[in-house]
Amino acid sequence: MTLGTALSTARNSLKTSSGQMSVVSQNIGSARDTNYTHRTTHVLSGANGMVSSKLIRDDNPELLGNYLLKSSQSAAAAAINDGATQLSNIYGTNDFENSPSRLLDDFKKALQFYANNPSQRTAGDAAIDKAKDLANSLNAGSKAIDKLRTDTDSEIKDSVDHINDLLKQFQQVEKEIVNEKGSGRDGYAYMDQRDAILKELSQEIGITTVTHPDGTMSIYGMDDSTLYDKVPRQVSYSPSAPLVAGKAGNPVLVDGVPLSHDAFNSPNGSGKLGGLLKVRDDIAPQYQKQLDEIANALTDIFKGPPALFEGGDETNVTGTAGRISVNPEFDSNTVDGGPEKLGKDLQKLVDNLDKPRNFANDTGLDNTQSIASYTKQSLSWMEGVRKSATSDNEYKSTMFSRAGEALSNETGVNTDDEMALMLQLEQTYSATARIITTVGKMLDDLMSAVR
pLDDT in tens, 94-106: 889 999 999 999 9
Residue 439's pLDDT band (boundaries 50, 70, 90)? Answer: low
Contact 197, 170 (CB under 8 A): yes
SS3 182: helix
208-211 vs 217-220, strand pairing mode? antiparallel
Judge contact between 199 and 166, C-beta under 8 A: no
- Low-confidence winner among 61-75, 257-271, 307-321, 374-388 (lowest mean pLDDT): 257-271
Q: Does the structure show a pLDDT above 60 at 369? A: yes
- Cβ distance 30 to 36 under 8 Å? yes
Contact 163, 231 (CB under 8 A): no
Residue 262 has pLDDT above 70, yes or no: no
pTM over 0.75, yes/no: yes
- Rounded to an integer, the average pLDDT of 236-260 is 90
* Residue 440's pLDDT band (cuts 50, 70, 90): low
Could you count the other beta carbons within 10 Å of the beta carbon of residue 278? 21
Q: Across-strand partners of 235? A: 254
Q: How far apart are CA 360 and CA 346, in angstroms?
A: 27
Angle at 110 between CA 106 and CA 113, to 5 degrees: 140
Closest C-alpha among 401, 384, 385, 383 to residue 74: 401
Helices (H), 96-238: 100-116, 121-182, 188-204
Share of residues in the chain with pLDDT > 70 (%):
85
The CA angle 318-322-323, to the nearest 5 degrees, is 90
pLDDT of residue 422 exceeding 70: no
Give the span between the Cα atoms of 108 and 114, in whole angstroms. 10
Mean pLDDT of the chain: 88
Q: Which run of H or E residues covers position 56?
A: strand 51-57
Residues near 197 by Cβ (< 8 Å), separated by ≥ 6?
Answer: 166, 169, 170, 173
Give the CA distances from residue 394 to residues 3, 43, 69, 268, 271, in Å, rounded to whole numbers and listed in that order.
67, 45, 16, 18, 15
| CB contact at 8 A, 199 and 71 | yes
Contacts of residue 366, defined as CB under 8 A and 6 or more positions apart, other chains included, come to 359, 374, 377
Average pLDDT for 409-428: 77
pLDDT digits (tens, 9 = 90+) for 30-72: 888 889 999 988 766 655 555 566 888 999 999 999 999 999 9
For the stretch 298-339, pLDDT in tens is 999 999 899 999 998 878 899 999 999 999 999 998 888 999
pLDDT computed for residue 125 by the predictor: 97
Listed in sequence order, the residues at least 6 apart from 135 whose beta carbon sits closer than 8 Å to its beta carbon are 295, 298, 309, 324, 325, 326
Residue 57 has phi, psi (to 5 degrees) of -95, 120
Cα dist from 45 to 19, 41, 49, 405, whole Å: 15, 13, 7, 35
Going by pLDDT thresholds of 50, 70 and 90, the confidence category of residue 208 is very high
Query: What is the distance between the alpha carbons of residues 286 and 166, in angstroms, rounded to a whole number?
Result: 33
Q: Which of 7, 329, 291, 9 is nearest to 146 (CA)?
A: 291
Which of 58, 436, 84 lies closest to 444, judged by CA? 436
CA distance 278 to 259: 12
Crossing angle between the packed helical segments 61-92 and 271-278, to the nearest 10 degrees? 30
**Domain range summary for the chain, segments of one domain joined by +:** 3-58+415-450, 64-404
